[in-house]
Amino acid sequence: GDSVTQMEGPVTLSEEAFLTINCTYTATGYPSLFWYVQYPGEGLQLLLKATKADDKGSNKGFEATYRKETTSFHLEKGSVQVSDSAVYFCALMGGFKTIFGAGTRLFVKA
């Protein structure tokens, strides 16, 4: 069946450091891919999405490119801030089902 694999956390970075969180997937067909973010005590909210191969999703300085050839959707940000500290989830949606990765917790130190 479909699956999503994220790099394990936690990831600890200093402010203004470069961020990469790896996400790879297996799926039949052509799923849509998403990154969601969860701040402490809250539900998930969409960070960015891509719906077809080579699409690049971007929002708030975060970017991810839908790479069909490597089945990946890695999240990147050039300069993280303390306010980016949260848990990040990679997800795919195909055939009305949604599969989430295990989540990666990010800590950003001032």
What residues make contact with other proteins under the rule CB under 8 A? 4, 6, 29-32, 34, 36, 42-46, 49, 51-52, 89, 91, 93-94, 96-103
Looking at residue 70, its amino acid is T
Q: What are phi and psi of 64, to 5 degrees?
A: -155, 140
- Beta carbon nearer to other proteins, 17 or 100: 100
Closest distance between other proteins and the C-beta of residue 14, in Å?
26
Closest by Cα among 90, 84, 88 to 105: 88
Integer Cα distance of 60 and 80 in angstroms: 10
CB 99: neighbour CB atoms within 10 A?
17
User: What is the closest distance, in whole angstroms, from the C-beta atom of residue 93 to other proteins in the complex?
Assistant: 4
Which C-beta is closer to other proteins: that of 17 or that of 32? Answer: 32
Shorter beta-carbon distance to other proteins: residue 80 or 90:
90
Instruction: In angstroms, give the least distance from the CB of 33 to other proteins.
Output: 10
DSSP label at 53?
T
For residue 52, the one-letter residue type is K
Q: How far is the CB of 29 from other proteins (least distance, A)?
A: 7
